[in-house]
Amino acid sequence: MLMNKAEKLLMNNPVRAAVQRHYEARRLRNMGGVMAGGRALEIGCGRGVGTEIILKQFGADTVDAFDLDADMVRRAQARLKRFGDRVRLWTGDATNIQADDETYDAVFDFGVIHHIPDWRAALREVHRVLKPGGRFYLDEVYEKFIMHPVVRALLDHPMQDRFDHTRFAEALEGAGLHVEESYDEGHFGFFVARKASG
Ligand SMILES: C[S@@+](CC[C@H](N)C(=O)[O-])C[C@H]1O[C@@H](n2cnc3c(N)ncnc32)[C@H](O)[C@@H]1O
């Protein structure tokens, strides 16, 4: 589901970028470590701050990234131009990822899956495109936040079949993504999960 105008304002500003760079990325690095180079995928890249983080903080050699919203992809293209062919961007859907099986060493999700009605299909797709032993780094937004009356009034989210930390952990395991580290903040949560090495 696309973001409405209010959520775009919340996402496309320097405060959001600082939180993503200095809090979310740091927590995920502390939980899962960095990559030893290699290929990464970011689902729901928004305006591209996450892709920059994956290159600069996680040490990926290249990042492929997509978003459902063509407007966000255009913003990401402008931000990430300086990385040349280390970054490839497209408009796409996390429930039908345009990549071959076992392509990526790591997949990243900075607060995207809670926007997807059939979010379990997205987890199956992440599993499909990860190489054996590849890692899934993510932070997600839980039902408790989405259902808050103020949030409901301001933002658009799918309302059916949302999740909390336990339910999300179970769904990761169900999709073949073994949870190695996780952190539950109540309204939000962080995970590093790994696909079996085969
Ligand atoms: C809350 S924003 C997060 C954006 C960015 N990851 C960040 O942290 O700033 C959610 C993003 O997910 C995208 N999105 C929603 N459904 C999607 C889907 N099915 N596949 C890919 N991206 C999706 C939205 O367009 C939006 O850019």
Provide the mean pLDDT of the chain: 97
C-alpha 198 – ligand 1 centre gap (Å)? 30
Over its C-alpha atoms, the chain yields an Rg (Å, rounded) of: 15
At 20-56, the pLDDT tens digits run: 999 999 999 999 999 999 999 999 999 999 999 999 9
Residue of the CA atom closest to atom 17 of ligand 1: 68
Average pLDDT over residues 1-11: 92
Q: 108 - beta bridge partners?
A: 42, 137
pTM of the entire predicted model: 0.97
Domain with residue 85: its CATH number is: 3.40.50.150
Atom of ligand 1 nearest to the CA of 7: 1
Ligand 1: lining residues by beta carbon, under 6 Å: 1-3, 11, 16, 20, 43-46, 49-50, 67-69, 72, 93-95, 110-112, 115-116
Question: Using 50, 70 and 90 to split pLDDT, how confident is the model at 198?
Answer: confident
The whole-angstrom separation of Cα 48 and Cα 67 is 10
Q: Domain range holding 70?
A: 5-195
Atom of ligand 1 nearest to the CA of 42: 6
pLDDT for res 98: 98
Which DSSP symbol is given to 187?
S
φ/ψ of residue 160, rounded to 5: -85, 145
- Count of domains for the chain: 1
Identify the CA nearest to 181 among candidates 169, 193, 195, 168.
193
Which of 77-86, 149-158, 185-194 bottoms out in mean pLDDT, i.e. has the lowest? 149-158
> What is the best residue among 67, 91, 140 to mutate for testing ligand 1's pocket, by most ligand atoms within 8 Å of CB?
67
pLDDT for res 66: 98
Residue of the CA atom closest to atom 24 of ligand 1: 2
